[in-house]
Each structure stands twice: as C-alpha cells, then as structure tokens.
Chains A and B, each alone.
Chain A
C-alpha cells in the first residue's frame, strides 16, 4: 500500500520569498509522483509530474520539484512566489503498475502569499 504525507498543512509566506512545500511518501512498488494545485473555487490541475529520468522536474508557473528516492520525498519549490500562487497544493502518488486507479493524495498544503 502507498501513503502520502504532506508535512505542512499551512504555509504563510511573503510575496517574492522562496517557498518549499514538503511531501514524503511510502510505497513498496515503483510510483509516479504528481503535484496538483487547486485555486479557490476550482478543481485540481496538474502542476508537474515525475515519471522517470532526471530527478528535478519543472512545472507550470515557475514551480519545480525534486524526487529523492533515498528519502522518499518529492518536495515542491518556487524561488519567488506571487500573490497569485495562493492556493492549496496536493502531492499524489500513483503505482506504476496500476496507473491512476490507485492514486493516493496527501491531505494538502494551503499556501498563503502575503503582500
């Protein structure tokens, strides 16, 4: 079975500051890793994904994430945040052999960017 832990439920940060949203996972099988973003009153949309290859993946809106297999982490980072980045962010893992049917989501991290 897989599990996903997002270590911070809320992250307040000032505009133009860097941010890191932390995600740890556990799995006995190979997984694909995803970050989704949910803006207020909207559904989730894909921010970035790690399937294989380079451990540093870049996504939309200047976000990037690094896959660390030894630490089973997939932390999301942005060097300089904007007010418009205020949203909830979800880390998700999908077993490689089953695909999206068995996707597990973390509880979410609410990023609040202050002026």
Chain B
C-alpha cells in the first residue's frame, strides 16, 4: 500500500527557531508537495518538487524553503519560525499520470509560540 510518512505529528517551536519538517514516500513518485491547511482556507500549496534537487514555488512560498536531496524525501524548512506559521502541514506525493490522485501523509501540527 502507498505510504507517505511525516516524521512528526506535533511540534512546538519558539519564534525565530529554524524548523525542519520531514516527509518520506515509498512509492517511487517523482512529484512531492508541501501544503499548509488552515480552517476555512482549505489546502494551500507552499512548494512542490518534480525531481531530485528540483523545486517550484507554490502559492504561498514566503517564509519557507525546501530540500529534495533524495527521491523519496522532501523537507520543508522554516528559516525563522513566526507565530503566523502555526498551522497543519501536509506532505503529499503523486504518480506520473495527469489523472493520478494525491497521496497524503498524516500531517504535522506545528505551533510557534
């Protein structure tokens, strides 16, 4: 069965800290995504990657960066966490066909204090 694993379910960080969110998929998918989920706003795309070391900005990339050194792993980095980055973060991957659905991890709920 398809699996996307996010390393942390809950994180509490302080303002100004550097934060790493890790995501691993076991489906050999080329494409991986980081979304942010906030009540009433649905899912908003932060960054996606279509290959190792390749990345593209999504709709809300400000304050975030990403790293994809290996095909199976996609990391989201908050260079200097701020309270407005308190949110649920969802990682997803997708197969190569245009009609493929997204496969999601269980999410990381990040609180920045």
A binding-site residues for B, Cβ under 8 Å? 4, 9, 32, 34, 36, 41-46, 49, 51, 90, 92, 94, 96-101, 103, 105-108
Task: Identify the stretch in B12-20, B60-68, B76-84, B99-107 within 8 Å (CB) of chain A at 4 or more residues.
Answer: B99-107
Number of interface residues of B (CB under 8 A): 26
- What are 5 of the A-B contact pairs (CB < 8 Å)? A4-B42, A42-B106, A49-B99, A96-B99, A101-B31
Whether A49 contacts B101 by the Cβ 8 Å rule is yes
Write out the residue numbers on chain A whose beta carbons fall within 8 Å of the beta carbon of B97: 99
Write out the residue numbers on chain A whose beta carbons fall within 8 Å of the beta carbon of B42: 4, 90, 105-108
Whether B40 contacts A107 by the Cβ 8 Å rule is yes
Q: Return A106 CB to nearest CB of chain B, in Å.
A: 6
In this complex, what residue of A is CB-closest to B50?
A: A101
Q: Return A85 CB to nearest CB of chain B, in Å.
A: 19
Write out the residue numbers on chain A whose beta carbons fall within 8 Å of the beta carbon of B107: 41-43
Tell me the bound Cα distance from A34 to B102 in angstroms: 10
Write out the residue numbers on chain B whose beta carbons fall within 8 Å of the beta carbon of A32: 98-99
Tell me the bound Cα distance from A74 to B104 in angstroms: 22
Q: Which of A103, A107, A108 makes the CB contact (< 8 A) with B102? A: A103
In this complex, what residue of A is CB-closest to B9?
A: A41
Tell me the bound Cα distance from A92 to B35 in angstroms: 14
Tell me whether A45 and B104 are in contact in the complex, defined as CB-CB below 8 angstroms, given that A101-B48, A107-B40, A108-B42 are known contacts.
yes
Beyond A43-B92, A49-B99, 19 extra complex contacts between A and B, CB < 8 Å: A9-B40, A32-B99, A36-B102, A36-B104, A42-B106, A43-B4, A43-B6, A46-B102, A49-B101, A90-B42, A94-B98, A97-B98, A99-B97, A99-B98, A100-B101, A101-B48, A107-B41, A107-B42, A108-B42
Q: Which of A9, A51, A92 makes the CB contact (< 8 A) with B99? A: A51
